[in-house]
């Protein structure tokens, strides 16, 4: 659902978005509100689109592990240097090299 809401943005940049959801063996219970999950996924997928180059790729994977469900969102953007992880996870922070290129509040990863 979240991917569908952002697909037009991906198409503008000719980004291929793929979603791979494993079949789960049993019913999965998630302790979160639907609106919170939507907000998180919209932010992460929107960031993947914003920071991926034209003609890039995004892969969204959901799969079962022994202790729960894992969600991975991979994109073809430049990535974040490990020494900047803590910094970029703070509110209203954006990496210096992207400040003039991307529109947004800087809340995406925080």
Most confident residue range from 22-31, 52-61, 62-71, 76-85:
52-61
Neighbours of 46 (CB within 10 A): 17
Q: Looking at the structure, do residues 99 and 71 belong to the same domain, yes or no?
A: no
pLDDT at 12: 96
Q: Looking at the structure, do residues 91 and 73 belong to the same domain, yes or no?
A: no
Angle between helices 2-12 and 34-51 (to 10 degrees): 10
31-35, 58-62, 93-97, 104-108, range with the lowest pLDDT: 104-108
Range of the domain at 70: 2-77
Q: Looking at the structure, do residues 55 and 103 belong to the same domain, yes or no?
A: no
pLDDT at residue 107 above 80?
no
- The string of pLDDT tens digits covering residues 77-96 is 887 778 877 777 777 666 65
The CATH number assigned to the domain holding 48 equals 3.30.565.10
Q: Looking at the structure, do residues 70 and 99 belong to the same domain, yes or no?
A: no
Instruction: Express as a percent the part of the chain with pLDDT over 70.
Output: 83
Q: Looking at the structure, do residues 20 and 33 belong to the same domain, yes or no?
A: yes
Q: Looking at the structure, do residues 21 and 46 belong to the same domain, yes or no?
A: yes
- The string of pLDDT tens digits covering residues 16-37 is 999 999 887 777 778 889 999 9
Q: Looking at the structure, do residues 106 and 60 belong to the same domain, yes or no?
A: no
Q: Looking at the structure, do residues 41 and 53 belong to the same domain, yes or no?
A: yes
- pTM, to two decimals: 0.76
Q: Looking at the structure, do residues 59 and 72 belong to the same domain, yes or no?
A: yes
Domains: count for the chain: 2
Q: Looking at the structure, do residues 73 and 101 belong to the same domain, yes or no?
A: no
């Amino acid at each position: 659902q979240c991917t569908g809401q952002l697909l037009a943005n991906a198409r503008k940049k000719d980004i291929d978005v793929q979603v791979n959801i494993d079949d789960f063996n049993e019913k999965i219970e998630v302790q979160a509100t639907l609106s919170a999950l939507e907000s998180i996924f919209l932010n992460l997928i929107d960031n993947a689109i914003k920071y991926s180059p034209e003609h890039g790729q995004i892969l969204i994977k959901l799969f079962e592990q022994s202790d729960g469900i894992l969600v991975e969102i991979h994109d073809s953007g430049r990535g974040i240097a490990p020494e900047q992880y803590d910094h970029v996870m703070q509110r209203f922070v954006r990496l210096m090299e992207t400040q003039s290129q991307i529109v947004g509040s800087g809340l995406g990863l925080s």
